[in-house]
Amino acid sequence: MTEVKMLREAFGKALVEYGSEYPNLVVLDADISASLKTGEFAKKFPERHFNFGVAEQNMIMSAAGLATTGLIPLACTYATFSTMRACEQIRSMICYPKLNVKIIATHGGIEVGWDGPTHQATEDIAMMRSIPNMTVVVPADATAVKPLLRQAIELDGPVYFRMGRNPVPVIYNNQQRFTLGEAIKIRKSGKVLLVAAGIMVSTALETAEMLADEGIECGILDMHTIKPLDGAALLDFTKSSDLVVTLEDHNIIGGLGGAVAEWLSENNPKPLIRIGVRDIFTESGDPKELFKKYSMDSQYAFTTITKFFN
Amino acid sequence: MGYSSELIKDLKEKSNLIRQESIRMTCSAASGHPGGSLSEADILSALYFHVMTIDPQNPKLINRDRLLVSKGHACPGWYAALALRGYFPVEELSTFRQINSRLQGHPDMRKTPGVEMTAGPLGNGLSGGVGIALGAQIQSLDFHTFVLIGEGDFQEGCLWEAAMFAGFHKLRKLTCIFDHNDSQVDGPSHEILDVSPIKEKWRAFNWEVCEIDGHDMTQILDAFAWAKKPHEKPTIILAHTIKGKGVSFMEGQAEWHGKAPNCEQAEQALKELQEAIQ
């Protein structure tokens, strides 16, 4: 059986290590430190951890203030709360002056499941992606978290780092190299190019296996950095493709699907299918059942792609 | 406390010049916010020319005192104070709000020397000050952080998140100044959304409060001396001010919040201000 791990647990572990390595790292929470797994960091570096309570605007704006004193604040909460409750602080007070603040979000997408649409961030990537100076990172598995987090910390400027809630399949081993802004070429290019981000990378892998059995070869790009988008990888991989399919746990408007659609229409027009949340609010439920009901599982991707070629 | 008459005279003259420059800037830009720039002028004069430990030649000194003007629209006054204090040439004030200028319509910390924090969207400055005060605490830096707020800040919810946090964490080197001119875009604040009771609110959030006439220089200096003394809590100076202070036809008139004087009005305003320091 495939090994599954929570990204936020990997984040919590990496944080403790980076706390020693980067003495100017400060971690901010908004009453959900247990969810964000920042507890170990808080225990080890209490003078560099602050719980702001349920007051996200103050947390995000204080992060801006902290950054002006030379510290690197990581402001941690759910994706809906940071990007929506504190959107203006992120846009006008962090991104506009290009302050060195990292917005660490979990509970991105409908994979949040049971908590329902109020807690399922399905617009966050679109919002963060449209703000100048912002880098948007969506790691696909627990292995990707640590190296991408290090690069996010070392990048001088705002970063939106988006993770999910649940354990997801481990895709990468420790030898895998990760570079911000460079998509990972998981499968060689084929007739179909699957471009995926976050937990949908494992869905893309499943889909590619199913399609291979039908004789349809798929390339896969893990677009862990949605902004800046890796145009070079897209150029390389779309050469041999008749169809591009994006897979994301986010509204198909404005996120990865939107970004790839923009890139394709400007650089290399190809037929495109966007798999993701179809501009609706979903509902509470088991994530697996939600992905099936809302046409976001590998079976749906497989059927849609085979239909395209028939 | 006793201050020399020269000091008071000098600071009053500086606030007068801040007011004059604010009138010139908004007139030449044909836009901007003169009313609040005039109400905050005495407070800015005291901070930049007496209270704060700063060096305009080294605006990024790590141990400098910080002022964040949360009511960012009142930046003509802020820019004038910075220029007069030597952060950039006074002549540059005439570029306010024009293309290629370092003086944006609302303050941009990356463009204007001395601007500690980008401002404009109200309610944010106090949180910025909280972050800076925490940054000082973490790094054992010894400086004071001042945040100037107005009615608009007061009405924003996020200000109270910051107030609660600062009170709870006893950020004793954080001082808020409320430029209480009781006036905002749509009219008198007490008619739109009354902010009173003020002192009780801040005390309930665990702040120490001091109340002054925001145009009486001795009271202003006393208040800052009080704020800089060791406290167990963050401090707020409730400064009663008059919107458009110093210009007869602007005083207490909410319409001058975001309206620029035309040439004739500016001439009249400058005449009144110049006469006041002769």
Beta-carbon separation of B118 and A71 below 8 A = no
Q: What would the mean pLDDT of A48-66 be, rounded to a whole number?
A: 98
A111: amino acid identity, one letter: E
* Nearest-CA distance A115 → chain B (Å): 26
A62 contacts B127? CB cut-off 8 A? yes
Q: In this predicted structure, what is the pLDDT of residue A235?
A: 96
pLDDT in tens, A217-234: 999 999 999 999 999 999
Q: What is the pLDDT of residues A252-269, one digit of tens each?
A: 999 999 999 999 999 999
pLDDT confidence tier of residue A310, bands split at 50, 70 and 90:
confident
Strand partners of residue A5: A168
For residues B203 and B235, give the distance between their C-alpha atoms in angstroms, rounded to a whole number: 10
- pLDDT tens by residue, A148-182: 999 999 999 999 999 999 999 999 999 999 999 99
**Considering only CA atoms, which of B171, B134, B161 is closest in space to residue A54?**
B161
CATH number, position B69: 3.40.50.970
- Chain B contacts of A92, Cβ < 8 Å? 118, 120-121
Range of the domain at B22: 5-276
Please check whether the domain covering A4-169 is classified as CATH 3.30.70.100.
no
pLDDT at A291: 98
Cβ contact, residue pair A58, B130, below 8 Å: yes
CB contact under 8 A, B134 and A62: yes
Q: Whole-angstrom Cα distance, residue A214 to residue A208?
A: 10
Q: Is the pLDDT confidence value at B233 over 90?
A: yes
- CATH class of the domain at A184-309: alpha beta
A217: left (phi over 0), alpha (psi -120 to 50) or beta: beta
Element (H, E) at B92: none
Q: Which of A304, A303, A287 is nearest to A165 (CA)?
A: A287
Count of A-B CB contacts under 8 Å: 102
* Domains held by chain B: number: 1
Task: Over range A25-48, report the average pLDDT.
Answer: 96
The CA-atom distances, in angstroms, between B136 and each of A80, B34, B129, B145 are 30, 33, 10, 9
Specify whether the backbone of B122 is left (phi greater than 0), alpha (psi in -120 to 50) or beta: beta
**In contact, A33 and A11? CB cutoff 8 Å:** no
User: Which pTM does this prediction carry?
Assistant: 0.96
Residue A119 pLDDT > 70, yes or no? Answer: yes
- Is the confidence at residue B27, as pLDDT, over 90? yes
Instruction: State yes or no: is A40 an active-site residue.
Output: no
- Name the closest residue on chain B to residue A97, using Cα atoms: B110
Q: Which of A56, A111, A123, A248 is catalytic?
A: A56
Question: What would the mean pLDDT of A291-301 be, rounded to a whole number?
Answer: 98
pLDDT of A1 > 80? The answer is: no
**Ranges of each domain in chain A:** 4-169, 184-309
ipTM above 0.90, yes or no: yes
Tell me which chain B residues have a C-beta less than 8 angstroms from the C-beta of A55: 158, 161, 164-165
pLDDT attached to residue B278: 81
pLDDT, residue B1, reads 65
Neighbours of B210 (CB within 10 A): 18
Residues of A in Cβ contact (< 8 Å) with B72? none
Contact A271, A308 (CB under 8 A): yes
Counted residue by residue, chain A has a size of 310
Note whether B124 contacts A66, CB cutoff 8 Å.
no
